[in-house]
Amino acid sequence: MLDKRRIMFVLLTICAAMVVLAVRLMLIQVVPGFGHASPALIRESVGQREQQVVLNSGRGDFYDRSGMPITGESYPALLVFPNKEQMKATSETETAADILGVSRKEWMDFVQQLKQPGWWTINRRTGSDSREILRDVPQRLTDSQAKRLKAIHVPGITVTDYQARYIQPYYASQLIGFIGENPERLQSQFADKLAKGQFTLTSRIGGSGLEKTFQPYVQGIGPTTLSLFTDGQHNPLGGLDVRLVDPGNDHYPTQVITTLSLPVERKIEELLERLKVRKGAVVVLDAHTADIVAMSSRPGFDPNRIRLDERGWENLALRAVEPGSVFKTIVAAAALEERVAKPDEVFRCEGELGKFGFSCWLPGGHGSITFAEAFAESCNITFAKLMQRLSSETLAVYAKKLGVLLPVGWTGDAPGQSGFRQLDGEDAGQLFASGTRVDDEGVRTQTAIGQRDVRMTPLAAANMVVTLLNGGVVREPRAVSEIRFKSGRLLYAFPEQTVSPRSGISPKTAATLRKWMEGVVDHGTGTSLQKAKWKLAGKSGTAQTGSGDLVHQWFVGYGPTTEPRFAAAVLIADTDATEAGLANAVFRGVMDILAAEPTLSASVDPTRP
């Protein structure tokens, strides 16, 4: 009898609970706003019948100095929501295939494999190689295609604007960088945002370039999405049309205004393509401010299809390599500043130094040659003899004074960050490798001509020229001048900066080296530049790479010589003897492009020292 009572009590309890649950479910469904959990339940119920696709991630975009977009391009594309009606072959679906210019089988294969909303893309396959980041880009519809597709009535087909992150062709792609998934970095650097739900482990963040360094300022506050509400069979619910949802905030996404000139960048990259430059970099700086006007790197890469192991995304303008005779500019500055040689002092070059197997590039040598002429002719023997008068420590001092040993890109405080660096992964330069005997005469002799352990980036080389043009003052090149809100209101302006007003060489030495650079083009190793649109000045260099007969070709300089407007550095990496003179040809082409842009930059004040 006791057991029966216990069983009856349990059954009555279960029945009472079921009655309470049934009443509560009825009230939740019938009475609006009943219960504290109803908003969450509503969201869950909506999520079960909502098919959603992101049209715009909400990420901020990059623009050139005149406001031309470098990232973020909207164009009409076809979005397809999966549903049973769509998967049936009808006259309307056949028309859709005809409009897109594909076979009806290809169209049906596409729609029938959809499990979630998908774009009609240029390439509808996925990458199987884990080393490859592959993103299929929705196909751009012509105006005619978009109009005709809107006119037919196929359930689940929507023509809408898609915002591509990267605009083809991809200019300054290594400087801008790419975005991708990186769960490890998200957990290590953005743990707070993950905890707040602002990121998930699949969120795409900056992987390189300005996309990476400016991540905190371009990440946005939420995407713009397009949603279709469906029943359990994935068919559209009557009365619930496709809905566009965006954050509706006047401040975001932000606008990052770079110092680049997109027309100049485009023409330089076309020049590199035309001259068949396989590997190298070009940097163009404003001669007054050191702002980066153009920064091109080869080989190029597609930011939607990245081979991480091939490193095409790497910016060679920021990689330090052997500079060869370009480094003689630093040796000459040290010799002049320390007064160990006068410009008119005569040296003797017989073609061989007589030790270390060291020789001049000119067989038989230059004979009797002045210091000034040795710079123009790039005489190895003269610079080896100059190095005998300079200590390694003194040379290091002047390498620092000309800004070639440390990263030179803009560094400072920015909103929410101290010690912020605009440029991603910029190498420091190098004079001597760790463990090298800096007092060894053979080591110092090779160092004098920019070989052995010496390393310099193309950016630092171009900035060295800006230092000479500004009387010895070392500036910090900017890639970005300001960040603005979506409304156009200024968020932050990055000021022009110098390393230190007194850190460089004297104005007198800077003026002497500028004059000597003119001599390089007038009667030295750069005479091929005499037919350029501007009168130019600079310094050539050829550096042994240690890889067989391959060399790095360099030319750094400025133009025009009367009122300098731009400084530039050209690196043609890993070339062979058949490509001799390529760096000079690229430098001339770059300067001719700049000469055709008369309003791009104000000239350096000719009254400055």
| pLDDT level of residue 531 (50, 70, 90 thresholds) | very high
| Residue 41 or residue 135, greater confidence | 135
The pLDDT, as a whole number, for residue 126 is 41
- State the average pLDDT over residues 406-431: 95
- State the average pLDDT over residues 270-294: 97
The pLDDT, as a whole number, for residue 477 is 98
491: amino acid identity, one letter: L
The pLDDT, as a whole number, for residue 241 is 57
| pLDDT level of residue 608 (50, 70, 90 thresholds) | very low
The pLDDT, as a whole number, for residue 340 is 97
Q: Is the pLDDT of residue 588 over 80?
A: yes
| Residue in the block written with tokens 């590997």 | 279
| pLDDT level of residue 400 (50, 70, 90 thresholds) | very high
- Each residue of 492-518: pLDDT tens digit? 999 999 986 567 899 999 999 999 999
Q: Is the pLDDT of residue 87 over 90?
A: no
The pLDDT, as a whole number, for residue 132 is 52
Cβ count within 10 A of residue 403: 27
* CA–CA gap between residue 197 and residue 191 (Å, rounded): 10
385 near 444, Cβ under 8 Å?
no
Strand partners, 76: 161
Residue 244 backbone dihedrals phi, psi, to 5 degrees: -95, 130
The pLDDT, as a whole number, for residue 606 is 34
- State the average pLDDT over residues 108-116: 83
Record the tokens describing residue 407, joined without a space: 């990263």
| Residue in the block written with tokens 């190298």 | 280
The pLDDT, as a whole number, for residue 30 is 54
The pLDDT, as a whole number, for residue 349 is 95
* CA–CA gap between residue 344 and residue 71 (Å, rounded): 53
214: amino acid identity, one letter: F
Record the tokens describing residue 161, joined without a space: 């604007």
* CA–CA gap between residue 352 and residue 381 (Å, rounded): 7
520 near 499, Cβ under 8 Å?
no
The pLDDT, as a whole number, for residue 130 is 47
Most confident residue range from 41-50, 210-219, 220-229, 308-317: 210-219
The pLDDT, as a whole number, for residue 43 is 43
- Each residue of 333-359: pLDDT tens digit? 999 999 999 999 999 999 999 899 899
| pLDDT level of residue 51 (50, 70, 90 thresholds) | low
307: amino acid identity, one letter: R
The pLDDT, as a whole number, for residue 127 is 43
- State the average pLDDT over residues 267-286: 97
| Residue 131 or residue 415, greater confidence | 415
Q: Is the pLDDT of residue 273 over 90?
A: yes
540 near 560, Cβ under 8 Å?
no
The pLDDT, as a whole number, for residue 6 is 76
* CA–CA gap between residue 414 and residue 433 (Å, rounded): 33
The pLDDT, as a whole number, for residue 53 is 72
* CA–CA gap between residue 236 and residue 83 (Å, rounded): 8
The pLDDT, as a whole number, for residue 19 is 80
| % pLDDT > 70, the chain | 85
* 400 to 72, 403, 500, 609: CA distances (angstroms): 39, 5, 12, 21
| Residue 226 or residue 595, greater confidence | 595
* 19 to 8, 15, 27, 36: CA distances (angstroms): 16, 6, 12, 20
Record the tokens describing residue 430, joined without a space: 């190098």
- Each residue of 286-304: pLDDT tens digit? 999 999 999 999 998 888 8
- State the average pLDDT over residues 309-334: 93
* CA–CA gap between residue 294 and residue 292 (Å, rounded): 6
- Each residue of 171-221: pLDDT tens digit? 999 999 999 888 888 888 888 878 877 778 878 889 999 999 999 999 887
Of 35-49, 124-138, 217-231, the least confident: 35-49
559 near 591, Cβ under 8 Å?
yes
| pLDDT level of residue 550 (50, 70, 90 thresholds) | very high
* CA–CA gap between residue 528 and residue 575 (Å, rounded): 19
Task: Work out the end-to-end distance of the chain between its first and last CA atoms, rounded to an integer number of angstroms.
Answer: 112
Q: Is the pLDDT of residue 607 over 80?
A: no
Cβ count within 10 A of residue 438: 16
521 near 496, Cβ under 8 Å?
no
> Strand 243-245's sheet: what is its strand order?
50-56, 224-229, 243-245
Average pLDDT, the chain: 86
- Each residue of 428-480: pLDDT tens digit? 999 999 999 999 999 999 999 999 999 999 999 999 999 999 999 999 999 99
Q: Is the pLDDT of residue 605 over 50?
A: no
Q: Write down the number of H helices and E strands in the chain.
A: 19, 25
